[in-house]
Structures are given as structure tokens and as C-alpha cells.
């Protein structure tokens, strides 16, 4: 039996509805190839409903599970050095930190989290969950054998002792694997995973997932992700993802601009936990599953009592402060989560030093964080032009060691988002 004309398109439409994925030409080609291999005889829609192995192969064909260890390292370093110590200081004694990598691909991201927790000295008081819509990706994550490509970042190479060579691949050390719980979950479906030991997640990473979702799916998923956060919990999305604060129905969420320019989000401390997301009641949490593979590590209590570092704020500006000084002031305010105050200094910096690329990038970030999308779009485009005019590997002053090439990419990605946001 061969499949009727149009069946391929109907299967794609079904996938788009079920997983919320925007289907493009690349997906179609991959799916056609996989269908040719696993079910050339047809009957796809029926098998999708009844045959788990077939469903897994089809979902895997359209899921873009590209990931690597220590991706977006500036965010991760902020998580390790600022967010985790801050949460430890704020949460009650005995609280186990709850971290969730939503859309975790083959496990690179949740395993990276486990490594960061160990480096922050809090691995023995934290739980890490990774979920993905693709059962095949979750299964690959559980085997934890990776290609060199997944370890391509310098940060992963600096930690090569965590990976043992294994037949042309690299096997992640068993103690890291044992500290992470990987499960299949579709972000379009309720119930959402429940943290093992708390009313909500302290940290959710949902990076490079939202950009693949349809607008309808975003409106479903983003409010639920935010509702899954505990009060004071953090949401990390990737630079190329649509901003969660722009999604209708999302509850209060503060944008926090990182010293290196990216933005992450925090649910206000005062927001009640377990808010109801949009029209759909948030499900009662399933009883926590035991973690059979989890091992307790040695106590790190002595090392975890690090208070959140207070952002050091320069004194008020002198009348003769120049563009770079105003830019530094704006960046310090952004890093302290005070974008409205940063905006004035960033505008002054861009006015006083019109060719200073970091001033325009900072202005874009401050404007974006305060909802001034047209200003942000213009500033990001100017920043991209100015960074492009520099040598790509020049380390940029006022930007914590980032290169001009990386900052040009960042400015361009933001400019694209704010091109759409400005209309
Ligand atoms: C590009 S990867 C990102 C992996 C990792 N978060 C990162 O930033 O490197 C996107 C992942 O999102 C998953 N995904 C897409 N739609 C999903 C959905 N509806 N529910 C759960 N995961 C989904 C895909 O299967 C894929 O593994």
C-alpha cells in the first residue's frame, strides 16, 4: 500500500498541532526520508496514533535537537556565579534547588547544569530534570555518549576530564549522568513536570526551543513555563528566542540584563506560587518519582552560604562624564536589574560617543528591557554596523572580554527580533 497524496502534509499538520512546531522545508525533507525508511508502505496517521516506535521516529525527524555542552556560556556563568548563590541565600534552609531543562535535546543542557551545580558547590542540594518531546533524544541522553561536535565549546574542552573516550565518542562520567533525571514530555501537553521537592522550579532553562514554536504554541507554552516557576525563580531563554515577556497571558516577569548583554527573566518574589496559566488550570502535581539513579554527594554546606553579590554601583554622574563612562554606568545598572535607570545613561553614552559600539548595544538592551522596541531596533542595528567594522576577534572594552564578532552577532539577533517587535 502506498500513502494517498496529501497524507504527508496531513501528518506534518498533525505534528505541528501536537508539538507546536513550525514546520519548514528542512523538516519536510527529513520527514520524507524517515518515512521512506521506517514506513514506506504508508498508513502513517494511524500508526502515529498507535505505534510508539513509529511516533518516536517521526517526532525525532522534525525535532531540531542540535545542542552542545556549555552553550551560551555567559548565561551559564551568571547562573553558577550569581543565580545559584542568590537562591541558596534566599531559600529556606534544607530547600533542594529545582532545575528544569525544558527541551533538553540529547541531554547536553541538563548535564551541563549538573556540572555547574557541582562547581557552585550545591550539587548535593539540587535536583535536575531534563525533558524533551522526542523519546529518541531522551534515550540518547540517557546513554550519554557524545560526538566531538557536542563538546566543541572551549568550556567543554576545559572540562575534558568529565568525558571518557569510548569508541570514537565520549562518554560522560557516570556520577554526572546519575544526578540528572531525563524524561519525555511535550510542552504542549498537561500535566507539566512537577519538581521533586518544592512548589515550583527555581530555574527553568527553555533555550532554543521557543524559536521553533508557532505563535499559537508560544501562547500556550510560555505562560505555563512561567507558572511552573516558584516565586523568585529564573527563566533562561536563548538570545534568538522570542522574548517571553511579549507573549500574551504571561504573568509578571522581570527582565534582567547580564553584564555580557544577554537577557534572562525572573519571576518576582512577590508573585504567588502555582498561579493558574491562561485559561487552563495548572494541574495538581503528580507525586514525585523516586530518583533511583541519584546518588547523594558529600556535604557542601560550608561552601554554599555565599550571599548574592551586591552589584557595585558607581556614584552619581559628574557633569563632565564622557560616553564610555556613561556606558559603563548604564551596564552596571542593567546588570543590577535596573533597566529604566540604565536607559538615560545609555542614551547619553550613544549621544556623546556616536561611534562607540557598546554604547549602542547597551542602549538597545536597556530600551528592549523597558519596552521601547523601535529605539531598541535602531540601536541594535547601529551596534551591529559598528561591531562589524571592527576585527571579528578584537576583544571589546566595556564588554567583559566578548569579541567584536560575537557582539555583532548578538546585536544582529536582537535587531531582527526588534524589527518584528517595532511594527
Ligand atoms: C535546538 S534544541 C535545544 C536544546 C537545548 N535546549 C539547547 O539550547 O541547546 C530544541 C529541542 O526542543 C525540543 N522540542 C521542540 N518542541 C518541543 C515540545 N513541544 N516539547 C518539548 N520539547 C520540544 C526538540 O525536540 C529539541 O530537542
pLDDT tier for residue 291 given thresholds of 50, 70 and 90 = very low
Highest mean pLDDT among 216-225, 317-326, 349-358: 216-225
pLDDT for residue 262: 84
Asked if omega into 296 is within 30° of 0 (cis), the reply is no
**Banded model confidence at residue 7, pLDDT cuts 50, 70, 90:** low
Task: Say what the pLDDT of residue 65 is.
Answer: 79
210 alpha carbon to ligand 1 midpoint, in Å?
A: 8
Q: Identify which of 7, 51, 42 has the alpha carbon closest to the alpha carbon of residue 28.
A: 7
Pairs from 160-164 (Cβ < 8 Å, separation ≥ 24):
162/115
What's residue 400's pLDDT? 61
How far is the C-alpha of 363 from the C-alpha of 217, rounded, in Å?
31
DSSP per-residue string spanning 122-186:
-GGGEEEEEEES-HHHHHHHHHTEE-GGGG-SHHHHTTGGGEEEETTEEEEPHHHHHTEEEEE--
- In terms of Cα–Cα distance, which of 337, 338, 336, 329 is closest to 358? 329
pLDDT above 70: percentage of residues in the chain? 84
Pocket test for ligand 1, best of 58, 99, 103, 228 (most atoms within 8 A of CB): 103
Q: How does DSSP assign 91-133, residue by residue?
A: SPTTPPEEEEEES-TTTHHHHHHHHHHHHTT-GGGEEEEEEES
Instruction: List, for residues 371-395, the tens digit of each pLDDT value.
Output: 788 888 899 999 999 999 998 878 7
Output the CA 134–ligand 1 centroid distance in Å: 8
Summarize pLDDT for 174-213 with one digit per residue, the tens.
999 999 999 999 999 999 998 877 789 999 999 999 999 9
CB of 56 shorter than 6 A to ligand 1: no
For 20-47, what is the mean pLDDT? 81
pTM comes to: 0.68
pLDDT band (50, 70, 90) for residue 109: very high
- Nearest ligand 1 atom, CA 217: 19
pLDDT at 111: 98
Q: Which H or E run includes 236?
A: strand 229-236
- 188 within ligand 1 shell (Cβ under 6 A): yes
Nine cell digits for residue 421: 517587535
| Position in ligand 1 atom list of the atom nearest CA 71 | 9
Least confident of 62-76, 88-102, 279-293: 279-293
What is the pLDDT, as a whole number, of residue 60?
A: 85
Please tell me the distance between residue 393's alpha carbon and the centre of ligand 1 in angstroms.
30
390 lines ligand 1 (CB under 6 A): no
Beta carbon of 71 within 6 Å of any ligand 1 atom: yes
* Cα 215 versus chain centre, distance: 18
And the C-alpha cell for 290? 523516586
What does the pLDDT read at residue 34?
84
Residue 305: the pLDDT is 25
Q: How does residue 308 score in pLDDT terms, banded at 50, 70 and 90?
A: very low
The chain-wide mean pLDDT, for the chain, equals 82
The atom number, within ligand 1, closest to the CA of 186 reads 20
C-alpha grid cell for residue 90? Answer: 534566599
- How far away, in angstroms, is 65 Cα from ligand 1 center? 6
What is the predicted pLDDT for the residue at 315? Answer: 63
Q: In the prediction, which pLDDT does 121 show? A: 95
Higher pLDDT: 100 or 416? It is: 100
∠ Cα 64 65 68 (to 5°)? 135
Mean pLDDT, residues 114-123 taken together: 96
Mean pLDDT of 355-371: 88
| Mean pLDDT score, 8-26 | 82
Q: Which three cell numbers stand for residue 33?
A: 526520508
- Ligand 1 contacts CB of residue 238 (under 6 A): yes
Whose alpha carbon is nearest atom 24 of ligand 1? 63
Residue 226, pLDDT score: 95
DSSP 366-408: HHHHTT-HHHHHHHHHHHHHHHHTS-TTPBPTTTTT-BHHHHH
* Joined grid coordinates for residue 235: 527563566
Q: Could you give the CA distance from residue 91 to residue 85 in angstroms, rounded to a whole number?
A: 10
Mean pLDDT for 248-255 is 88
Asked whether 226 and 244 are in contact (CB, 8 A), the reply is yes
Q: Choose between 102 and 316: higher pLDDT.
A: 102
Residue 253 confidence (pLDDT): 92
pLDDT at residue 168 greater than cutoff 50: yes
Amino acid at each position: 500500500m502506498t500513502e494517498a497524496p496529501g497524507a504527508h502534509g496531513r501528518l506534518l499538520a498533525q505534528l505541528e498541532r501536537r508539538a507546536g512546531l513550525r514546520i519548514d522545508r528542512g523538516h519536510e525533507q527529513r520527514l520524507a526520508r524517515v518515512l521512506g525508511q521506517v514506513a514506506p508502505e504508508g498508513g502513517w496517521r494511524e500508526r502515529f496514533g498507535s505505534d510508539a516506535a513509529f511516533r518516536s521516529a517521526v517526532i525525532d525527524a522534525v525535532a531540531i535537537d542540535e545542542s552542545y555542552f556549555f552553550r551560551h556560556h555567559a548565561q551559564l556563568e551568571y547562573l553558577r556565579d550569581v543565580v545559584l548563590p542568590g537562591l541558596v541565600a534566599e531559600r529556606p534552609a534544607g530547600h533542594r534547588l529545582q532545575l528544569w531543562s525544558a527541551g533538553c535535546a540529547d541531554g547536553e543542557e541538563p548535564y551541563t547544569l549538573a556540572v555547574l551545580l557541582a562547581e557552585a558547590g550545591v550539587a548535593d542540594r539540587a535536583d535536575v530534570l531534563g525533558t524533551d518531546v522526542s523519546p529518541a533524544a531522551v534515550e540518547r541522553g540517557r546513554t550519554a555518549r557524545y560526538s566531538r561536535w557536542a563538546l566543541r565549546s572551549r568550556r567543554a574542552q576545559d572540562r575534558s576530564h568529565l568525558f571518557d573516550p569510548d569508541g570514537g565518542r565520549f562518554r560522560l562520567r557516570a556520577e554526572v549522568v546519575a544526578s540528572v533525571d531525563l524524561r519525555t514530555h511535550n510542552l504542549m501537553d498537561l500535566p507539566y513536570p512537577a519538581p521533586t521537592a518544592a512548589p515550583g522550579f527555581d530555574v527553568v532553562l527553555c533555550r532554543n526551543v521557543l524559536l521553533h514554536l508557532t505563535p499559537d504554541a508560544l501562547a500556550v507554552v510560555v505562560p505555563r513555563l512561567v507558572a511552573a516557576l516558584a516565586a523568585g525563580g529564573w527563566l533562561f531563554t536563548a538570545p534568538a528566542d522570542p522574548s517571553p515577556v511579549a507573549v500574551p497571558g504571561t504573568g509578571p516577569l522581570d527582565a534582567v540584563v547580564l553584564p555580557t548583554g544577554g537577557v534572562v527573566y525572573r519571576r518576582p518574589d512577590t508573585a504567588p506560587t502555582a498561579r493558574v496559566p491562561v485559561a487552563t488550570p495548572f494541574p495538581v502535581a503528580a507525586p514525585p518519582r523516586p530518583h533511583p539513579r541519584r546518588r547523594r554527594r558529600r556535604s557542601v554546606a560550608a561552601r554554599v552560604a555565599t550571599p548574592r553579590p551586591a552589584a557595585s554601583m558607581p556614584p552619581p554622574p559628574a557633569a563632565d562624564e564622557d560616553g564610555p563612562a556613561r556606558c559603563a554606568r548604564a551596564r552596571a545598572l542593567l546588570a543590577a536589574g535596573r533597566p529604566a535607570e540604565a536607559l538615560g545613561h545609555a542614551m547619553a553614552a550613544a549621544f556623546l560617543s556616536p561611534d562607540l559600539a557598546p554604547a549602542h548595544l547597551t542602549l538597545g538592551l536597556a530600551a528592549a528591557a523597558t519596552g521601547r522596541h523601535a529605539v531598541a531596533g535602531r540601536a541594535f542595528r547601529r551596534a551591529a554596523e559598528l561591531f562589524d567594522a571592527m576585527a571579528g576577534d578584537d576583544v571589546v572594552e566595556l564588554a567583559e572580554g566578548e569579541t567584536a564578532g560575537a557582539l555583532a552577532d548578538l546585536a544582529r539577533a536582537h535587531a531582527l527580533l526588534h524589527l518584528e517587535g517595532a511594527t
